[in-house]
């Protein structure tokens, strides 16, 4: 039996996974929003490391450029715009109804995670999409009349792009709409807070 220290890929996976879990817990439990944002950046880098370890170099690069870069700039900007303070977060957490709702969501996610780990990955009998028999990255765009592969996208970037815009186009667009709604909601909340400060005479 091969040990964990004899397999560098498995060892790196566990290291990045530990950093990711620790960063995620810090994001949730740290009282300072800016520190939570910094820990979230650390989690994004650890997740990018996991993607790189499993061979998804393009996804790892996009994780660093898009999430750890552009998205986190937006998150920090929104946090500063809303002017969240420690006492406001403590007051929110001490509310009994909201505490019950948060704990209920955490328990539900824990049950789903435990069930997923026990059941394993679904559809393991079906052949994975985006891989050829030799293990290289290939995605069949069209087939010939004889049923053979006609147009094939090769390479990690081409396979990810083809699968995203052909197989997962609807979820991709839904996520885009959700992100747009989150940005608009943050701007509206920020304007409300600025209006309250102006009425109270704060600078």
Q: Which two tokens stand for residue 69?
A: 């870069």
> Collapsing DSSP states into helix, strand and coil, what is residue 10?
helix
Query: Phi and psi for 154 in degrees, rounded to 5?
Result: -115, 145
Q: Which two tokens stand for residue 3?
A: 């040990």
What pLDDT sits at residue 131? 63
How far, in whole angstroms, is CA 73 from its chain's centroid? Answer: 15
Using alpha carbons only, how large is the chain's radius of gyration in Å? 22
Encode pLDDT of 3-51 as tens digits: 666 778 888 888 999 999 999 999 888 888 788 888 888 999 999 999 9
Q: Which domains can be identified in the chain, with CATH numbers?
A: 1-83 (1.20.120.1200), 136-192 (no CATH)
Encode pLDDT of 167-182 as tens digits: 788 888 998 898 888 8
What pLDDT sits at residue 19? 93
Do 139 and 150 contact (CB within 8 A), yes or no? no
Q: How far apart are CA 102 and CA 95, in angstroms?
A: 11
Q: To the nearest whole percent, how much of the chain has pLDDT over 70?
A: 69
Could you tell me the pLDDT band of residue 132, with boundaries at 50, 70 and 90? Answer: low
What pLDDT sits at residue 110? 86
What is the total residue count of the chain? Answer: 203
Q: How far apart are CA 146 and CA 92, in angstroms?
A: 64
Q: How far apart are CA 90 and CA 29, in angstroms?
A: 11
Tell the residue number behind the tokens 């950046």, with chain if given.
41
* Cα–Cα distance list, 87 to 20, 25, 61, 91 (Å): 27, 20, 37, 6
Could you tell me the pLDDT band of residue 83, with boundaries at 50, 70 and 90? Answer: low
């Amino acid at each position: 039996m091969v040990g964990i220290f004899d397999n560098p890929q498995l060892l790196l996976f566990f290291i990045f996974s530990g950093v990711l879990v620790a960063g995620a817990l810090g994001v949730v439990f740290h009282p300072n929003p800016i520190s939570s944002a910094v820990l979230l950046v650390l989690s994004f880098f650890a997740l990018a490391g996991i993607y790189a370890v499993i061979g998804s170099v393009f996804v790892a690069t996009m994780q660093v450029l898009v999430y750890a870069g552009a998205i986190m700039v937006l998150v920090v900007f929104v946090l500063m715009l809303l002017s969240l303070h420690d006492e406001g977060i403590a007051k929110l957490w001490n509310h009994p109804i909201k505490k019950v709702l948060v704990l209920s969501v955490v328990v539900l996610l824990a049950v789903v995670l435990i069930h997923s780990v026990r059941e394993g990955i679904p559809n393991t009998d079906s052949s994975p999409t985006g891989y050829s028999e030799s293990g290289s990255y290939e995605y069949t765009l069209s087939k010939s009349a004889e049923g053979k592969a006609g147009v094939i996208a090769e390479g990690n970037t081409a396979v990810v792009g083809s699968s995203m815009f052909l197989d997962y186009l609807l979820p991709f667009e839904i996520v885009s709409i959700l992100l747009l709604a989150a940005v608009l909601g943050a701007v509206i909340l920020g304007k409300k807070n600025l209006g309250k400060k102006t009425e109270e005479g704060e600078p």
